[in-house]
C-alpha cells in the first residue's frame, strides 16, 4: 500500500514538472537590428540554443528557471522565466570585452628592487601561474630571446636593459619583451623606446632559469615583462597590404584592349569599415575599390542560358562633366541552399598565439557555428587546426551531427607559433581523401594570416596553393582580427586557390558571409572568369578602369586557358566601372603622344554606332576549356539607375580614401548625396550603413 502511494506521489510530481515545462521564444537584437548566433542557456543545465539569422530563438524551460543570453562584444543578460512565453531582449554593447587588454599578475603586486638576479614578485601563486600559463601559450615559437640582466631598476627611466654575455650569442638577437601581456615581435627596440618612463608601473626582469620555469622553453634565454600604469599600452600595428598603383587613363589608339580577371572578394570594405569605426588612419593600399563596390548586391537579372547574365550601362560621370561612366555587371545564377550539391568542407583553423584575442578565435568559432547550423545530412565537415604544427581534430562528420561539430569548435584554444603551410597541406590532403565527385569540395581557411613557420612568404604560399588547386578542391579564405592582419597573404591564397576572400570583424558580417551569401561563399558556378573590353577609337579617346589593379591580365592571357582568373559563386554579382573620354575632349588626364603613321580610324567606319565590345570567358567548375561570350554596347548615354548611382558613390568614396588624382576635387558630401539617391529599397540596410560610414569619416580624410 505504502509502495503504491509512493509511486503515485512520484508520478504526480513528474506530471507537475512536465506541466510546468514550456517553450520560450523571442528575438534578440542590438541597436542596429536582430543578432544571429546569440547563445541562450538555461542556467545550471545543459540546455542550450542559438539565435538564427533573424535573431530568433526557441528553448524548452520551466517557470523559475533563469535564461542566460551571451554574445561576443555585448553584456551578458540573465532573465528569470515567469509566466510569459515570449522574451525579447535588446543587448547592450560591451566595448571593454573586445578592446580591453586584461593585465593580471605583475602589475598588481608590490615590486622589490631589481638587481642582476631574477626579480621576485609577491602575489598569489594561482594568479601568477594563470598569467604565466597564458603568456606561455601565447608566446610559444614567437621569439628566441637572449640571456639578460638589468643595469638598474626601471627600463625607460634613464636606464637600459643590457644583454649579458653578448659575445656568446649571435648578433642581432634581442631580449624577449612583453608589454601589458602582449609580446613585442617586431621593431622591439623602437617600440620599447617609445614608452614614456612616467607611464611605466614596473618592470620584471627574468633570466634564463626562472624565465624558462615561468614561461616555458620560449623564454629559455630570459624575458623582460613591462607593465604600464594604464595596463593597456597600444603596440604599433603591423598589418600588411599589397602595394597598389592606381590605374591611369589609356589612349585607345595605343591600347584598345582592357583585360582583367573578375573579383568577388569583399574583404576590403569590411576592413575599411573596421578602421573608420575605430578612428584609425587608413592605409591607402588597404583600399581596393573593386572590393568595396562588389561588397554590395545590385539588381541585375538572373541568367537564362549561362551561369551569369551580362549587363552594361553608360551615363554621365557624377564627378566629372567631361567624362562618361561605364558600368559592366555580371549576375551569377542563384541556387537555393537545398538544391546545392553535397559539400565536403574542411575547416582549416589557425589556433596559434596570434589568434588569442576576442575578435579572433572566439569570434571565428561563433561565425563557424552559423555555417554549421545550415549543413544538411549529405554534407561532411572535417576540422584541421595548426599552430606550431598541424593536426586533425575532427574527422569527416555528417552535417546532421551538429553537436559533435560544435563541440569540436568549442574545444579549440589558441597558443603557439603559426605553421600555416603545414596546415594547408594537411587540409588539402583530408579534402582529397574524402573528395565527392560532382560535389562541392572546399577548404575554408580562417586566420589573421600571420604565418611564421615553414613556407610563409607570399611567394612560397602562392606556389603551394597553385599546386594544391590542381586537386579540384576550392578555397575560401576568411580573415579575422586586427593589428597584425596580413591582407596581402590572404588575398594571394584566395586568388591562386580558386576561391574568395572575406574579412569578418563582427557577427553581423559573419551573418552576411555565412547566411545571406551562403551559396556564393561556398559554391562556385564558374571559374577562371575573364573580361576583355575593346574600345572603338572613333567613340572613345581614352579610358580608365576604376580599381582591379591587382587583377589586370595581359591581353594575350584572355584566350590562354592555362592562365588563372577569378571565380563566381551562386548569386554573386560582379561590377566593373570605366571612366571614358570622348575624342576631341581636352583633358589633363590624357598625355600627349607622337602622331602615329600606320594606325588610322579608316577601318572603323562600319562600326560608327558601337562604343565598345565586351568579351567574357569562363570555365565550368570541373572544366578545363573556356566558353566565350560576346556583347556589343552601342553609343547611348542614359540617366543613371539607382544601382548605378550607388556603385558610383562607393567608387568615388574609395577614390577619396586613396587620395586619387581623379576625384576632380569632389567632396564627401557629393558621395553622400549620390549614395542617398541610389539607396533604393535597401532591405538589409547595407547601403544605409555605408552612408553612415561616410558621414562618420567626414572631415577626417
pLDDT above 70 coverage of the chain, percent: 75
Q: For the beta carbon of residue 681, count every other beta carbon within 10 angstroms.
A: 8
Rounded distance, CA 306 to CA 262, Å? 16
Our CA angle for 535, 536, 538, nearest 5°, is 145
284 to 290, 482, 495: CA distances (angstroms): 14, 16, 21
For residues 149-166, average pLDDT: 32
pLDDT at residue 119, rounded to an integer: 32
The verdict on pTM exceeding 0.75 is no
Dihedral sign, Cα of residue 683, residue 689, residue 690, residue 692: positive
> Residue 307 has which C-alpha cell?
551561369
| 3-class DSSP assignment, residue 414 | coil
Residue with cell 587608413: 282
265 to 248, 430, 521, 533, 594: CA distances (angstroms): 23, 26, 10, 22, 40
Rounded distance, CA 463 to CA 424, Å? 12
To the nearest whole number, what is the mean pLDDT of the chain?
Answer: 80
pLDDT at residue 451, rounded to an integer: 65
Tell me the β-bridge partners of 90.
29
Which of 154, 297, 159, 157 is closest to 226 using CA atoms?
154
Phi, psi of 9 (to 5 degrees): -65, -45
For residues 565-580, average pLDDT: 94
pLDDT above 90 coverage of the chain, percent: 48
pLDDT tens-digit profile of 465-502? Answer: 888 888 889 989 999 987 667 788 888 888 888 888 99
Which of 83, 78, 42, 87 is closest to 60 using CA atoms?
42
For residues 69-96, average pLDDT: 84
Rounded distance, CA 201 to CA 469, Å? 52
Decide if 683 contacts 649 (C-beta within 8 A): no
Rounded distance, CA 182 to CA 226, Å? 10
Q: For the beta carbon of residue 552, count every other beta carbon within 10 angstroms.
A: 13
pLDDT at residue 521, rounded to an integer: 79
Rounded distance, CA 530 to CA 555, Å? 11
Per-residue confidence band for 71, with pLDDT thresholds at 50, 70 and 90: confident
Decide if 616 contacts 310 (C-beta within 8 A): yes
Decide if 329 contacts 575 (C-beta within 8 A): yes
Contacting residues for 82 by C-beta, under 8 A, at least 6 apart = 63
pLDDT at residue 498, rounded to an integer: 83
Rounded distance, CA 143 to CA 191, Å? 16
Q: For the beta carbon of residue 209, count every other beta carbon within 10 angstroms.
A: 12
For residues 537-553, average pLDDT: 96
Per-residue confidence band for 118, with pLDDT thresholds at 50, 70 and 90: very low
For residues 159-185, average pLDDT: 48
* Polymer length of the chain: 701
664 to 327, 441, 656, 694: CA distances (angstroms): 19, 47, 10, 18
pLDDT at residue 97, rounded to an integer: 41
pLDDT at residue 431, rounded to an integer: 94
> DSSP secondary structure string, 582-642?
-TT---TTS---PPPSS--SGGGGGGTTEEEEEEEEEE-TT-SS-EEEEEEEES---PPPH
Decide if 111 contacts 227 (C-beta within 8 A): no
Per-residue confidence band for 187, with pLDDT thresholds at 50, 70 and 90: very low
Phi, psi of 321 (to 5 degrees): -70, -15
Decide if 441 contacts 344 (C-beta within 8 A): yes
Tell me the β-bridge partners of 50.
39
Contacting residues for 386 by C-beta, under 8 A, at least 6 apart = 348, 349, 350, 351, 352, 418, 419, 420, 422, 423, 426
Res 457 pLDDT > 60: yes
Res 334 pLDDT > 60: yes
Secondary structure of 117-184 in HEC code, one letter for each residue:
CCCCECCCHHHHHHHHHHHHHHHCCCCCCCCEEECCCCCCCCCCEEECCHHHCCCCCCCCEEECCEEC
pLDDT at residue 39, rounded to an integer: 86
Residue with cell 594575350: 556
Rounded distance, CA 252 to CA 697, Å? 37
Rounded distance, CA 680 to CA 188, Å? 50
Rounded distance, CA 366 to CA 506, Å? 10
Amino acid at each position: 500500500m505504502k509502495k503504491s502511494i509512493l509511486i503515485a506521489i512520484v508520478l504526480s510530481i513528474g506530471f507537475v514538472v512536465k506541466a510546468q515545462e514550456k517553450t520560450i521564444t523571442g528575438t534578440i537584437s542590438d541597436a542596429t537590428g536582430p543578432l544571429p548566433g546569440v547563445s541562450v542557456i538555461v542556467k545550471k543545465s545543459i540546455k542550450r540554443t542559438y539565435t538564427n539569422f533573424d535573431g530568433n530563438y526557441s528553448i524548452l524551460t520551466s517557470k523559475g528557471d533563469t535564461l542566460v543570453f551571451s554574445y561576443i562584444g555585448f553584456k551578458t543578460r540573465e532573465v528569470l522565466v515567469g509566466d510569459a512565453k515570449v522574451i525579447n531582449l535588446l543587448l547592450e554593447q560591451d566595448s571593454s570585452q573586445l578592446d580591453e587588454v586584461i593585465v593580471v599578475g605583475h602589475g598588481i603586486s608590490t615590486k622589490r628592487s631589481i638587481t642582476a638576479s631574477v626579480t621576485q614578485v609577491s602575489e598569489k601563486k594561482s594568479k601568477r601561474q594563470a598569467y604565466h600559463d597564458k603568456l606561455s601559450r601565447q608566446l610559444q615559437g614567437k621569439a628566441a630571446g637572449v640571456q639578460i640582466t638589468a643595469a638598474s631598476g626601471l627600463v625607460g627611466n634613464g636606464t637600459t636593459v643590457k644583454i649579458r654575455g653578448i659575445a656568446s650569442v649571435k648578433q642581432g638577437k634581442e631580449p624577449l619583451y612583453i608589454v601589458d601581456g602582449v609580446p613585442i615581435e617586431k621593431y622591439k627596440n623602437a617600440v620599447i623606446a617609445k614608452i614614456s618612463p612616467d607611464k611605466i608601473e614596473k618592470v620584471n626582469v627574468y633570466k634564463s632559469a626562472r624565465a624558462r620555469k615561468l614561461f616555458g622553453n620560449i623564454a629559455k634565454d630570459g624575458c623582460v615583462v613591462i607593465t604600464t600604469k594604464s595596463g593597456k599600452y597600444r603596440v604599433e600595428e603591423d598589418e600588411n597590404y599589397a602595394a597598389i598603383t592606381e590605374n591611369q587613363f589609356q589612349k585607345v589608339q595605343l591600347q584598345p584592349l582592357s583585360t582583367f580577371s573578375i573579383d568577388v572578394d569583399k574583404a576590403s570594405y569590411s576592413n575599411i569599415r573596421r578602421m573608420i569605426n575605430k578612428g584609425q588612419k587608413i592605409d591607402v593600399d588597404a583600399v581596393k575599390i573593386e572590393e568595396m563596390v562588389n561588397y554590395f548586391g545590385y539588381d541585375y537579372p538572373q541568367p537564362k542560358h549561362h551561369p551569369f547574365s551580362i549587363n552594361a550601362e553608360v551615363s554621365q560621370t557624377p564627378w566629372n562633366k567631361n567624362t562618361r561612366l561605364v558600368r559592366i555587371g555580371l549576375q551569377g545564377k542563384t541556387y537555393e541552399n537545398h538544391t546545392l550539391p553535397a559539400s565536403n568542407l574542411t575547416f582549416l583553423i589557425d589556433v596559434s598565439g596570434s589568434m588569442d584575442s576576442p575578435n579572433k578565435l572566439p569570434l571565428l568559432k561563433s561565425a563557424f557555428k552559423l555555417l554549421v547550423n545550415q549543413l544538411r545530412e549529405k554534407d561532411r565537415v572535417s576540422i584541421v587546426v595548426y599552430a606550431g604544427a598541424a593536426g586533425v581534430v575532427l574527422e569527416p562528420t555528417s552535417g546532421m551531427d551538429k553537436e559533435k561539430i560544435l563541440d569540436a569548435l568549442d574545444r579549440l584554444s589558441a597558443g603557439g607559433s603559426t605553421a600555416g603551410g603545414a596546415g594547408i597541406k594537411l587540409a588539402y590532403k583530408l579534402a582529397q581523401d574524402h573528395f565527392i565527385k560532382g560535389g562541392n569540395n572546399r577548404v575554408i581557411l580562417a586566420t589573421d594570416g600571420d604565418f611564421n613557420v615553414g613556407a610563409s612568404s607570399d611567394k612560397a604560399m602562392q606556389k603551394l596553393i597553385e599546386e594544391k588547386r590542381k586537386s579540384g578542391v576550392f578555397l575560401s579564405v576568411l580573415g579575422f582580427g586586427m593589428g597584425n592582419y596580413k591582407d596581402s597573404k590572404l588575398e594571394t591564397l584566395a586568388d591562386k586557390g580558386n576561391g574568395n576572400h572575406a574579412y569578418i570583424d563582427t557577427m553581423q558580417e559573419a551573418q552576411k558571409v555565412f547566411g545571406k551569401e551562403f551559396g556564393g561563399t561556398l559554391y562556385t558556378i564558374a571559374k577562371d572568369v575573364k573580361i576583355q573590353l575593346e574600345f572603338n577609337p572613333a567613340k572613345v579617346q581614352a579610358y580608365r578602369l576604376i580599381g582591379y589593379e591587382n587583377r589586370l591580365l595581359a591581353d594575350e592571357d584572355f584566350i590562354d586557358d592555362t592562365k588563372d582568373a577569378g571565380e563566381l559563386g551562386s548569386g554573386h554579382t560582379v561590377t566593373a566601372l570605366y571612366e571614358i573620354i570622348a575624342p576631341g575632349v581636352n583633358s589633363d588626364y590624357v598625355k600627349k603622344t607622337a602622331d602615329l603613321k600606320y594606325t588610322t580610324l579608316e577601318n572603323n567606319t562600319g562600326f560608327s554606332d558601337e562604343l565598345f565590345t565586351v568579351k567574357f570567358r569562363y570555365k565550368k567548375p570541373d572544366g578545363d576549356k573556356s566558353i566565350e561570350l560576346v556583347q556589343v554596347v552601342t553609343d547611348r548615354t542614359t540617366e543613371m539607375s539607382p544601382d548605378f548611382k550607388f556603385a558610383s558613390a562607393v567608387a568615388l568614396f574609395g577614390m577619396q580614401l586613396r587620395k586619387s588624382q581623379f576625384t576632380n576635387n569632389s567632396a564627401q558630401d557629393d558621395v553622400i548625396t549620390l549614395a542617398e539617391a541610389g539607396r533604393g529599397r535597401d532591405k538589409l540596410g547595407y547601403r544605409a550603413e555605408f552612408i553612415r560610414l561616410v558621414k562618420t569619416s567626414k572631415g577626417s580624410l
